[in-house]
Structure 1
Amino acid sequence: MSDREPRIRRSALYLPASNERAIEKARTLPCDVVILDLEDAVAPEAKEAAREMAARAVADGGFGRRELVVRVNGLGTPWGEADLAAIGPAGADAILVPKIDDGATLRRYDALLAQAPAATRLWAMIETARSMFALQDIAAQAEATRLACFVMGTNDLAKELRASPDVGREGFVGFLSSTVAAARAHGLSAIDGVFNDIGDAEGLVRQCAQALALGFDGKTLIHPGQIDICNRAFTPGDDRIEAARAIVAAFDAPENAGAGALKVNGQMAERLHLEQARALLAMRAQIDEMG
């Protein structure tokens, strides 16, 4: 049940669902996705109030083109099932569920969303050592569940691995790439994890470039000040757009009808590059329409 129409997910901003002012501000921010967080960003004593606030925010709407997602607490906590019961029927674009170790865990969440609107998708946090060995099993659940997106939880993964990722995340590249591959094999979107150093703009630029090179659709963020950098990084630049237009024009030329491969601006372009070029142009057009 993965997304049939790809959505723009360059920037996905986490906000504590317990902070009413932050939720109101989110309705004006240029991020593509707003994630109201009931899990890590909310203290235990505030969980129930945050759940009510998130449900009310979903019902009130006003987020415009932004995709609205709610991250719930895990089923192994005192709040998980109540979160799903309250948030599921509210009509969010997606429910983000934490610490998915395997396909069976994903199916449990999906079953508890039976009363949610058909359009509500299920997003899965990939953030445990066990999940690294079950990526195919988890992604395959897209065929029969609401699953539509993987979200990297790099902080939790680093904790489990007892690793300390730097900006370049050299020790994590294999895990990141495997997650993208599993997602793509089953038509899922894939969003990278957060960058913790809010004041390090250069570091964020580098990590966004790495995520783009690995194939991620966008990145999760922890501060509004990170949005513009992230949006720029995941928006196809003019040079890529011009190259894509050249490929499309070459294959559309009458004299090249039926050609399987062409030389375009000194480089070999095959039909697979034509498909990629058209997708890139469609993405840029969608971003331009968003303003």
Structure 2
Amino acid sequence: MFKRVAPSRFFVHVTLMAYAVLALFPILLVLVNSFKRRDAIFDSPLALPTAETFSLVGYVKVLEQANVLNYFSNSLIVTVVSLFFILLFGAMAAWALSEYRFPGNRWLALFFAFGIMVPIRLGTVSILKIMVAADLVNTLTALILVYIAQGLPLAVMILSEFMAQVPKELKDAARCDGISEYSIFYHVILPLIRPALATVAVFTMVPIWNDLWFPLILAPSDQTATITLGVQQFVGQYSTDWNGVMSSLTLAMVPVIILYALFSRQLIRGITAGAVK
């Protein structure tokens, strides 16, 4: 009745399950404690809420005292606009690097690869000077520009590898039919690399949504603060409102979870296809 499982395969499954538990445990811990009273969070942080410990005071504080809707809208605007231009410019650059041969092609590809190896935070001082000179401090535009620069190298490298695997005969057949290069890119190439686009979107969206470094430096005002920066108002020097922290973190996780639920199939297809290639 039971199939015999090879020891190596069993070890792989156990390892993956252990990693899944390790990754999901902090999320579950935050979610559970967001529905508990402050004293219950410290007395039994691993226990589920009961009739005595259940409380929505954290969500009430977040929705009433904090400008949460403004923080969410700022994060949403920055993330969506950044993702749009990262995917657009990344796909265009990947198409040029993978399809056409021109002087400096290899050097340009190396330049994008260098952008992956060097963290953009090393240039924080220079970026801040540029934003001050351009009068973009405390604007969402500053964050969008930084995140586009941050996400483009990875997007170009991933998408160029997928575009290089598209059969050359398919593109030549489209050219023989008189289809323009733009139409080939938009109507032929982009539909074929949707798993790669979803992979880039998920891998790029999470660091942008969760980032605290650049919003704190480039857009710290209350009007331009993102949701991760808005959570900090519940953390004080001498006391911390843990109900507010847990509730705001739970609300901040919702968009990421929804995005993964919508694009999980495309994400897995993109990862597995890239592993095979």
TM-score by structure 1 length? 0.21
Q: Hey, which of these two has a bigger chunk of strand by percent?
A: 1
TM-score by structure 2 length? 0.21
Q: Which structure: larger Rg?
A: 2
RCO higher in structure (CA 8 A, sep ≥6): 2
